Structure formats: C-alpha cells, structure tokens
Structure 1
C-alpha cells in the first residue's frame, strides 16, 4: 500500500514547499524506497502552458508532454525519476473532469457539489498516480498557503484521504516561515502558530512542522513552536537558507527526519544515514570555489531567474562534473542593441528558448558576437533557431527569418510544422514531450552523448525548414542530430568554431545533480577551455 506525505504551506507562498517535498523524497529514496511526487496547483488553468514566466517561473515539460509547474523539475532532479504529466493536478483539470462526467450523466441526476464530487475527483487523481507507479511513498504538495480560498477543496480532500487510507498511511508536513525582526533582534513564531491553527481548523493536525528562516533558530524556539502547535519537539524541523538547495536532504537527515517518518508511517525500513553518502558527495562537488567559469544567459525573462531555473541548475550540475565553479550572469535580450562590451569577460553564452518576437534582436546579436569572437555558445529551442537565422543572414540571405516573426519573409529558414498551421488554441498545440533523436557520428554532439540515439523533451511549434537544409550545410552548418527518419533537424553545429551547438529540444529538463546532462557538460568544459586560453 502506498503511503502519502502531504505538504502544506503557511504564512507566505514560495516558502520552499517544493524543495522540502523533494528533499524528504530524496531522503526516503536513499533508504531504498520507491518515491514519486505530485504538485497540486489551485489555479483554474488546465496546465502551466500559458502562464506568465514572470509570475510562475519556467514551464517544466514531462516526458509524456504535459506542461507543468516548475516544482516537478525539483522533484525529478532530487528523486532522479521521470514523472508522468498526471503528477501535476490543477483546479482546471479537476473541474473539467467533474463537468465532463456530469455531461455524460455519470452522476445520475445528482446535484454536483464541491463535496463529495470535487473532493472525490481530487482523491481519485492522487490515487491514480500512486497506482500507476506502485510507489512506496507519494509526496503530495499543495501549492499556495493554508487559508487561500482556492485551496480549501484540496485541503478537505486531503483530510478525507487520511480518514480513508488510515492514520498510519497518511501524514502531514506543514512548512512555515519564521521571520526575524531586526528591530527586536529576535525571531517571531506567532505566524507559524496562526498558520498551524488555520490548518487545524480545516480538520488537519500536522504531524511535522518544517520552519524556514534566513538563519538557524535555537532549541528553545523549536520547543516553543512544538508547545503552541501541539506537536512533539522532534517533529519541529528547521531548514535555514542554505548555499545550495541540494543541501536540504542532509539538513533533514541531521534532524533524523527519516526515523521520524519511518515510525510515523510504520515503513519498517533501515534508516542508516550512511546511505546518503552518495548525495553528500554530489553536494560537496557543487561547493567547489575555483576555478570559476562565467556563463552569460541572454534571454527576455532574465529579471526573474526562476524563468530559467532548469537551465541554471543544469549549468551547476555540469560545472560540478567538470570541476569548476559556475558563475551565471543574466543579460536581457529585450534591448534596442545588446552591449557587446559587457560580454567580453564571458567564457560562454547560452541562448534559451522562448516565444514571440520580443527579445529576438538581442538573442541574434549574442549569436553574432559568439561567431565573431569564437566564444562557446549553446542555443536551446528558439536559441537554436536564432543560430540558423543569424548564420543565414550573415551569408547572403539578408532577410532570413522564422515565420513566427515574419510570415512574409523571403527566406523562411524556420517554419511552423504543417500539422500546426490550422490550430487556433494556444495551449497544448506544440510538439511536446519526449522524442527520439538520432546522432550523427564524429560531431561534438555525438562525442558528448557517446551513444547513437537519445530521447529528449520538446516544447515548440516551429522547426528548421528542410528547404534550406542543403544551403545551410554549404554555409558551414553541421546537422548533428535528427529524428530517426532523418526528417526533422534536432541539433546543429558550426564547423571551425570551438563550440557552437544548438538543439531544438530542452536538455535542461533531463539534467540531474548526480547525472548532469552530456550537452551541458560538454558546453561547460568548452567554456572552461576558452577561459584557460
């Protein structure tokens, strides 16, 4: 029987519930358990595909093509698993499923209500994930904070889940913020007390409280929280801000969280802490301080780093593998002209994906700079397309463009997939999820992967236009990866350049701290060589 650990949040949002959930999962995975995770997002959107990156960060794409919340990226990186799209539950999905059932007459004329119909659907979706993977433990994170109107049906569903599955099969972990007041020179536990009281008013008594703050709290404060929130002292766990998010499983282990959960859920496992040694080694590698490799990310959402969170983490994973410290600088591509003088100290440039014409000019100029100065450059999705456009423009196809930006361009080197041209809806209309990619021997790409074929995740509508394939190859472009039928171009390189690689897919979604993505490792290694020369 699957055990459930439900993660709720209080006081403020973005407090670290996702990292807490992923870290508990990592701890349990180190004990040999099969663990997965669910993220519940209370918004009405069906998925994350059309959400503003400035508000919600990146859209993480699962192997089966679901556009999800970025927390699924944390889960996959920490747990080293590939989660299905059903692992992201939204209010939109829940209500759509219930309304569809009502239209089909499945409720036999009943008045459809929040309780039991919506709550039953929520529980059904949670159990579907548990059954699909036959997991030992399923982490269930509820987005937002306790007290949000949108969260109430989900809290009620989770309360019912504990009653139905049994007390020893469902536990609750509440994550709260403990502010430090500089004026008073002390921490304040009252927000945690009120948050826990709000949760208990919904019929849920937390089994464990994870507190967050900029710096550590003392034992007296933990005792106070335990007393006022009606939990044991050993159930109050503190996770202050850390240098790396990957340290959090080790912090939890120091509080003996594994034994606490083992006893609370009657897991019957050996919680020998030495089983976290491999993870501790990964964390140590991430702490290297020199030499430093500086990579510039040129994109249009750089004001909000979470918009590129998987790319950021992938660079750090690769740096640890290469044996260097990663320093990332962000440059807005949404400018009239990119200041190339500001790029001169960079060891490498990364041009990420995106949609729309805004910010295109700066990305093209970054590609131009890398070509002129032999700086290693990595183009991802739209970044690869910018590479193709810029190379074409530099070699006689002056007005070359993507039809996404100019439907009348005389040289549509990037064009929409034929099957998408009649699609009107924005959400879920792209080539999404995992596809096979055949690698061409004797290329930087094949050397990086060291296998003949790979699987990578996509999120795009536009493709390399095969009508210009021969022309661009004559201009020095090497096509180093295609679909198995050789029809769609997946990866390109440039001859006679230290490292100029673009891929149509998103490799950042498959990088792990213990298994960095080969393309990122190759890129960072090239940037390190450029630094030394």
Structure 2
C-alpha cells in the first residue's frame, strides 16, 4: 500500500444514524478499491471550529458529514475556514446549504436580508430518492458506470438570480436533480471542493464503491503528491 492518507470527517457522530456509519464504510470501500490505506478521524463541530489552519493541513482531505449537527453556527464557521484553504473537500447532506450561505455572507450577496435559499425540502428525518443528471464532463465520467439514483435527506432550492451570480463567479454546477435544481456544486479555483445535498456514502458497497467518494480520495492522493 502507498502513503497512508489522513481524512478528517467533521461532524457530530451519532451511532444511531446510518449516514454516519455509511461515511466510515464508504471510506473503507474506497481504500480497498484504490489499494491505499486511509485513516479517518471524526472531529466534533465544536472542536473543528477551534482548529488552526496548520492543524487542518495535517489532513489530506476534509469530509463534512451529514447532520444532525449540534450547532449550525459552528458548521458555518468551519466551512468558511475550509473554503479559504486548498484542501480536497467533500460536503454531503445539509452542509450543502451552509456552504451556499457562507458564500452569500463572504461576498455580501444578500444586503437586503432576503430568503435566497429554501429550508430543507425533504420532510422529517427520512431519505428520498433523487436522480442525478450530470452537467459537466467530469461528473458524466464519474457516473458513467454507476446508477444515477441517490438517497437524500436534504434538498434545497436556490433563488435563480443568486444561482446565476454564483455560477458566474464562484461555483460550477456539476449536476442537477429531477426537479431541475442544482444537486452537486463545486468551487471554482479549487482542485476538488464538492458539495452535494444527497449522501453518496449510503449507496456505496464493498463490491461497488461509490465513484464520487473514491474520486475524492484520488484528489487527496494527488494533493498529497503535489505537496511533497
């Protein structure tokens, strides 16, 4: 096996939530598939909010886990800090909305205090099926041999004018869902900073690791090589 990768999973781990267990398992699946050793560490949001930049860079990649979160204020602060780095980052679940809100605040995109992003459109603590329609060649390649049906407990609608500005300046829309809403976005000027409302880890298996997860790990490997 090659260099041992260190992945920080930022979130409030709860053993009763399947998505949290699935996050660990999806990394195990990617490790086996890529034949690379991965050590991953759960960091509570309250602790992650205190991390210095140098401490963040002790990791090869950052995964913002799905909720529930004990304090969304901490989540926004952590994401704001990570956005300023060049670390490979994957956000799955409710953190999608927090990333958009961080961008709104950083670039003062809502001076009138309007509601630019909806509340969660998935009712209750349940998962619904979403269909992913790639919008970029990169995502098309990721999904070419994988089902485009995912499971999500978080779905949001963005104000069209906000989305137009974000796409023009800050993000790329990698994929849409069946409701024609942005489902997967990435930050411009980052090698890998991807956020999706759904949870790819839930559909990852030992036999069929989720390609979005192992693509994230590949990005971590590449970043590590470039840093050496």
**Residues of 1 paired with 2:27 and 2:208: CA distance?**
12
> Which residue matches 1:361?
73
Whether 1:463 aligns to 2:166 is: no
Name the SS of the counterpart of 2:127 in structure 1.
Answer: strand
Deviation by residue 1:163-204 (Cα, 9 ceiling, x = unmatched): xxxxxxxxxxxxxxxxxxxxxxxxxxxxxxxxxxxxxxxxxx
How many angstroms does 1:383 deviate by? 1.9
TM-score between the two structures when normalised by the length of structure 2? 0.85
> Which residue matches 1:315?
27
Whether 1:384 aligns to 2:79 is: no
**Residues of 2 paired with 1:306 and 1:431: CA distance?**
11
Structure (1/2) with the larger helix percentage: 1
How many angstroms does 1:474 deviate by? 2.3
> Which residue matches 1:410?
113
Judged with a 3 Å threshold, the aligned counterparts in structure 2 of structure 1 residues 416 and 362 are, in CA distance, closer, same or farther, namely closer
How many angstroms does 1:320 deviate by? 1.9
**Residues of 2 paired with 1:336 and 1:298: CA distance?**
7
**Residues of 2 paired with 1:317 and 1:292: CA distance?**
15
Whether 1:529 aligns to 2:202 is: no
TM-score between the two structures when normalised by the length of structure 1? 0.39
Deviation by residue 1:89-132 (Cα, 9 ceiling, x = unmatched): xxxxxxxxxxxxxxxxxxxxxxxxxxxxxxxxxxxxxxxxxxxx
Contact conserved, 2:49 with 2:74, CA < 8 A, in 1? yes
Judged with a 3 Å threshold, the aligned counterparts in structure 2 of structure 1 residues 304 and 459 are, in CA distance, closer, same or farther, namely closer
Contact conserved, 1:397 with 1:411, CA < 8 A, in 2? no
Query: Which of 332, 344, 364 is the equivalent residue of 2:57?
Result: 344
Name the SS of the counterpart of 2:42 in structure 1.
Answer: strand
Q: Unpaired segments of 5 or more residues in structure 1?
A: 1-287, 400-408, 421-427
**Residues of 1 paired with 2:133 and 2:216: CA distance?**
20
**Residues of 1 paired with 2:153 and 2:201: CA distance?**
12
> Which residue matches 2:105?
393
Query: Which of 433, 444, 457 is the equivalent residue of 2:128?
Result: 433
Judged with a 3 Å threshold, the aligned counterparts in structure 2 of structure 1 residues 359 and 479 are, in CA distance, closer, same or farther, namely same
How many angstroms does 1:398 deviate by? 6.6
Larger Rg: 1
How many angstroms does 1:433 deviate by? 2.5
Q: Unpaired segments of 5 or more residues in structure 2?
A: none
Whether 1:446 aligns to 2:140 is: yes
**Residues of 2 paired with 1:337 and 1:456: CA distance?**
30
Superposition pairs of residues 219-258 of structure 1, within 5 angstroms: none
Whether 1:507 aligns to 2:210 is: no
> Which residue matches 1:330?
42
**Residues of 2 paired with 1:297 and 1:332: CA distance?**
9
Contact conserved, 1:436 with 1:456, CA < 8 A, in 2? yes
Name the SS of the counterpart of 1:373 in structure 2.
Answer: coil
Give RMSD over aligned pairs: 2.9
Contact conserved, 1:337 with 1:361, CA < 8 A, in 2? no
**Residues of 1 paired with 2:146 and 2:206: CA distance?**
24
Contact conserved, 1:384 with 1:504, CA < 8 A, in 2? yes
Whether 1:374 aligns to 2:69 is: no
Q: Which runs of 4+ in 1 moved over 6 A?
A: 302-307
How many angstroms does 1:308 deviate by? 1.5
Judged with a 3 Å threshold, the aligned counterparts in structure 2 of structure 1 residues 337 and 457 are, in CA distance, closer, same or farther, namely closer
How many angstroms does 1:305 deviate by? 9.6
**Residues of 1 paired with 2:190 and 2:208: CA distance?**
27
